[in-house]
Amino acid sequence: MSSNSSADNVCAANDQLCIVTYYMKEVIIVPTLLLLGSLVTLLALCLVMCCPERKRTQTSAPPRYHSSSDRHNQRTRQRHHLQGIDAPPGINPLEHEELPMSVQQEQRQTVLPTQTAVPRVSTERQHGAFSQVTPLPLSFPVKPDNTVSLYRARMDNRDVVLRMLKERANSSEKQHFFGFASFVSGLGPHPFIPQLLGVVSVQPPPMMVVEELQHRDLLGYLWRCRQDNSGSESSCEMTEKRIFTMAGQVASALEYLHSQRCIHGNVGARSVLIGGDLTAKLWGLSSAYCRTTPAVSAGEIEDKETRKWQAPEVLGRRGFQQSSDVWSFGMLLYEMVTLGDPPFAQISANELLQHLQRGKHLKRPVRCSNSLYSIIRACCHWRPEQRLSMSELIRTLHEAESSANGSTVLRASQPLDIEKYLREAGYGDSYNYAVL
């Protein structure tokens, strides 16, 4: 009543605008302020209730404290495209045994815009994929590998070699086995490196599947060439032209490894495999893998190799270089032209470094041409920087091949004596000759 009378005193009876303006503060502004205050209060309560949950989620234990299943799920989400042996360094390959293994058939070199990436090809195999499985004997009787067995088999209508991990292998040996498979797959394909065809990882025993080359290792092939094999179905005739052809193929594979920042470190006839068409492919990659493993010391690597093929800087424990492979390649050429004789046969392995320090070098074999011997000497300079580069070596081999003698068959003056070879080559009793 008093409010109405106050409005009547201020405003005329028929002035509606004045009356509304008079009551605006009480009827509109105050309720609006009360409504806004209520909304702000509700919003603050919501934030108080939600923020502690969010904070607890963000400050929970870091991934390294999660359970193994949580780590596996997280890595699977983050690396769904990486499986098995494609897992990058730092991930234990054994944690991914339940995943199908696949090979990234793409070189580790940077892909240029004009190049097309090769699609991923799965190499996971099942044991049922193999038939006619038989043990693969060693080339000559030495102590076999304690962790790996070799078998010959058929897969997809082709001959393969199964590099099978033995059942008694411990976790460290399994780690090494899968690490080596990852290393080989990461190198990518090359026409003069044996092809990795598959990996069995889901079911025990684990194994690598590698293409089989009919004549197996070059050293055994050279020894067969020492014999008078006239009339033999598997006769082999080594000529100087064939030496240059095979050597060029091995040099091509070696140049590729160097382009992948990989030093072979074990070049020799024992590490070269020969196909039915006499194509030479470089293998023996175990020592190269060991150098990529921080847990393996330089001394352990040296025990796995033969000193008669090592460069002076390696014998002097100054480390491997790409030029060290070039020196060993010169030893390989010496083996080929002598049909499997060891280099520096009359010098003991312990005295070899001192022998080389006195300026001594490989003597020219009886049936070695001037062009071939000059390449051997160019590979075996004392100073690494004076040796041929891989590109120069390949070009020199190709030029020599075009003019080499392809008709005169090389013969050895003496038959093979295994015990004498092992003694002169400096092999230890425990040396494992199995290169696959």
Domain containing 380 — which CATH number? 1.10.510.10
Do 310 and 253 have their domain in common? yes
**Could you give the CA distance from residue 245 to residue 242 in angstroms, rounded to a whole number?**
5
- CA gap 207, 123 in Å, rounded: 12
Is 230 in the same domain as 150? no
**Does 147 share its domain with 291?**
no
Per-residue pLDDT, 76: 42
Task: Determine the pLDDT at residue 294.
Answer: 64
Per-residue model confidence (pLDDT) at position 30: 76
- Using a 10 angstrom Cβ sphere, with 0-12 exposed, 13-18 middle and 19 or more buried, the burial of residue 431 is middle
- pLDDT < 70 positions in the chain: 1-10, 13-14, 20, 22-27, 51-128, 139-145, 228-235, 294-305, 428-436
Answer with the one of 166, 194, 211 that is the final residue of a domain.
Answer: 211
Residue 7 has a pLDDT of 57
Range of the domain at 139: 92-106+120-211
Token pair listed for 143:
């102590």
Q: Note the pLDDT of residue 237.
A: 85
Residue in 253, 136, 122 with CA at minimum distance from that of residue 197 = 122
Count: domains in the chain: 2
Q: What pLDDT, on the 0 to 100 scale, is given for residue 129? A: 74
- Residue 278's pLDDT is 94
Cβ neighbours of residue 349 under 8 Å, at least 6 residues apart? 306, 307, 308, 426
What confidence score (pLDDT) does residue 124 get?
63
Among 196, 211, 226, residue at a domain's last position: 211
Distance of CA 372 to the CA centre of its chain: 32
Q: Are residues 350 and 255 in the same domain?
A: yes
Same domain for 148 and 271, yes or no, is no
Which pLDDT belongs to residue 141?
46
Do residue 247 and residue 146 come from a single domain? no
- Cα dihedral 151, 153, 158, 160, rounded to 10, equals -20
